[in-house]
Homo-oligomer: A and B are copies of this chain.
Amino acid sequence: MMTRPQRKNNPAALRLRLLDCAATLIVDHGVPALTLENVAREAGVSKGGLLHHYSSKDALIGGLFDMVVEWFGSQVDAAIEPEENRPARFSRAYLQVIANIDMSVPAEKRLAVLILMLSSDPHYCARWNSWVDERLREHHRTDTSPMARTLRLAADGLWLSDLGGGPDSVSSKRGEILQFLQTLDPGPATSTPHADKGGQ
């Protein structure tokens, strides 16, 4: 017996397609291209059909945000090394996921969408920030060292450069950059709030 009744209309699949089309539109043609009509057309559905599943543009964007966060979260979880007390566990996974994004793969365009959303709406900034902070609390025993922070910051920098293709000095040396960052010694986590090594 078929696990999927294979009915003609598949609402769940359509919802996914709508979100993916929205992501692709943003990445390929910029935020202004994200209109209900464009999304509907790309997904091969009418505007009414789109509005049936996402009752407003905000709802659509919200769904997009949720999808991206969930996707990124699962990717990071999958990349986390098993050794429980490995320094900078989370930050290293965070970096790896971002560094390995291939913008030519539709599913991986999703992450770029996040930055674009952050730029349009302060509301999503807050949600993203709290997501990061939550993860950081969860991994506070391994990911509080200055070097762990540095890895995450550098990852964000890589992420940023993914947007517009990035300067040649970055995009052409992806692998080399990641390799170098992975050799950095994160050092033990610093549960103490300050760790001044005597600045310059």
Interface hits, A144-180 → B, CB 8 Å: 146-147, 149-150, 152-161, 163-170, 173, 176-177, 179-180
Q: How large is the interface on A (under 10, 10 to 19, 20 to 34, 35 or more residues)?
A: 35 or more
Could you say which of B147, B154, B166 contacts A157, with CB atoms under 8 Å apart? B154
Binds B, one of A14-22, A72-80, A103-111, A121-129: A121-129
Asked if A115 and B160 sit within 8 Å, CB to CB, the answer is yes
Asked if B116 and A167 sit within 8 Å, CB to CB, the answer is no
Asked if A119 and B182 sit within 8 Å, CB to CB, the answer is no
Copies in the complex: 2
Binds B, one of A1-9, A27-35, A37-45, A48-56: A27-35
CB closest chain-B residue, reference A117: B119
Which residues of the other chain, B, contact A185 by a CB distance below 8 angstroms? 199-200
Asked if B194 and A176 sit within 8 Å, CB to CB, the answer is yes
Considering the chains assembled together, what is the distance between the CA atoms of A191 and B38 in angstroms? 47
Q: Is A198 an interface residue (CB 8 A)?
A: yes
Q: Is A120 an interface residue (CB 8 A)?
A: yes
Asked if B122 and A168 sit within 8 Å, CB to CB, the answer is no
Q: Is A196 an interface residue (CB 8 A)?
A: yes
Asked if A196 and B179 sit within 8 Å, CB to CB, the answer is yes
Given A154-B153, A157-B154, check contact A180 B195 (CB 8 Å). yes
Which residues of the other chain, B, contact A120 by a CB distance below 8 angstroms? 30-32, 116, 119
Considering the chains assembled together, what is the distance between the CA atoms of A64 and B155 in angstroms? 28
Could you say which of B115, B133, B158, B167 contacts A119, with CB atoms under 8 Å apart? B115
Q: Give the distance to chain B from A69, nearest Cβ to Cβ, in Å.
A: 14
Complex A-B, nearest 10 residue pairs according to Cβ-Cβ distance, in ascending order: A125-B164, A153-B157, A156-B157, A146-B180, A119-B119, A153-B154, A129-B167, A116-B119, A132-B167, A157-B157
Interface residues in chain A, defined as those with a beta carbon under 8 Å from any beta carbon in chain B: 28-32, 115-116, 118-122, 124-126, 128-130, 132-133, 136, 146-147, 149-150, 152-161, 163-170, 173, 176-177, 179-185, 193-200
